[in-house]
């Protein structure tokens, strides 16, 4: 079966850093995705990891450890517009994505 | 270019009625996916199309749910004899099948409310 866990909610202050953890147990692994979803909107692609290590894209970075079944998304220099849900998703065999429940991040002034 | 579009954006129906949801993927995307998202929850996979065939329909909750795709483009998701537990946002996504990421691009969703 597939199991993906991430915290339900996190709160941080504008300008700070937040790290969202994701652990997974899946039968097969062919990449891990992070998506951002603002309330009432469609998810939008943030990052992709298939090899171990850190991928950096501006204020957002994503890390993967395949041996530990673990990933995190790091958001730096938080802005109010970063308040959203962040979805961790694993692609196993084929192209289907299995999503975690999402982490709602609230950025406070 | 245009993104993934879905119609209708909102649908309110009575329990027991059939509904049809439509998805227009990004032009050239071979793969098409349907997901369901209940309030405050993550996305639940329903079905995946590669061209017009569905190699993975493992997420369809019951035989009341069916989907088809024609011409390698538009897809419709049909829910027969709707139940209140079918109320959710139904999201469609599309992607290429070859490439580095093959990330899925999502449409805005159809919010289905079954009274």
Q: Determine, for residues B103 and A41 on separate chains, whether the beta-carbon distance falls below 8 Å.
A: no
Å between B33 CA and nearest CA of chain A: 8
Å between B35 CA and nearest CA of chain A: 10
Q: Determine, for residues B56 and A94 on separate chains, whether the beta-carbon distance falls below 8 Å.
A: yes
Q: Determine, for residues A42 and B91 on separate chains, whether the beta-carbon distance falls below 8 Å.
A: yes
Radius of gyration over every alpha carbon of chain B, rounded to an integer in angstroms: 14
- pLDDT (0 to 100) of residue B80: 98
> To 10 degrees, the CA torsion angle through B88, B94, B97, B99?
-110
B-chain CB neighbours of A97 within 8 Å are 33, 43, 45, 104
Are A44 and A60 spatial neighbours (Cβ–Cβ below 8 Å)?
no
Q: Determine, for residues A45 and B109 on separate chains, whether the beta-carbon distance falls below 8 Å.
A: no
Taking only the tens place, the pLDDT of each residue in B62-109 is: 999 999 999 889 999 999 999 999 999 999 999 988 766 788 999 999
Q: Determine, for residues A45 and B97 on separate chains, whether the beta-carbon distance falls below 8 Å.
A: no
Å between A98 CA and nearest CA of chain B: 7
Taking only the tens place, the pLDDT of each residue in A50-61 is: 999 999 999 999
Q: What is the token pair recorded at A64?
A: 């993967």
Q: Quick one: which of B52, B61, B54, B48 has its CA closest to B91?
A: B48
């Amino acid at each position: 079966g597939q199991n993906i866990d991430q915290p339900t909610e996190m709160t941080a202050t504008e300008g700070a850093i937040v790290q969202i953890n994701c652990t997974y147990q899946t039968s097969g692994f062919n990449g891990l995705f992070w998506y951002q979803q603002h309330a009432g909107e469609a998810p939008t692609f943030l990052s992709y990891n298939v090899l171990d290590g850190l991928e950096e894209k501006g204020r957002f970075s994503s890390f993967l450890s395949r041996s530990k079944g673990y990933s995190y998304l790091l958001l730096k220099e938080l802005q109010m517009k970063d308040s959203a849900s962040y979805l961790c998703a694993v692609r196993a065999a084929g192209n289907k994505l299995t999503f975690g429940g999402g982490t709602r991040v609230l950025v406070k002034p | 270019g245009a993104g993934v579009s879905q119609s209708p954006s909102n649908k309110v129906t009575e329990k027991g009625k059939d509904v049809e949801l439509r998805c227009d993927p990004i032009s050239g995307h071979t793969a098409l996916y349907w997901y369901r998202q209940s309030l405050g929850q993550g996305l639940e996979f329903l079905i995946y199309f590669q061209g017009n065939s569905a190699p993975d329909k493992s997420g369809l909750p019951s035989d009341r749910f069916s989907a088809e795709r024609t011409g390698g483009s538009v897809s419709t998701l049909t829910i027969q004899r709707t139940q209140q537990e079918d109320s959710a946002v139904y999201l469609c996504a599309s992607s290429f099948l070859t490439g580095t990421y093959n990330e899925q691009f999502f449409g805005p969703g159809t919010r289905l409310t079954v009274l």
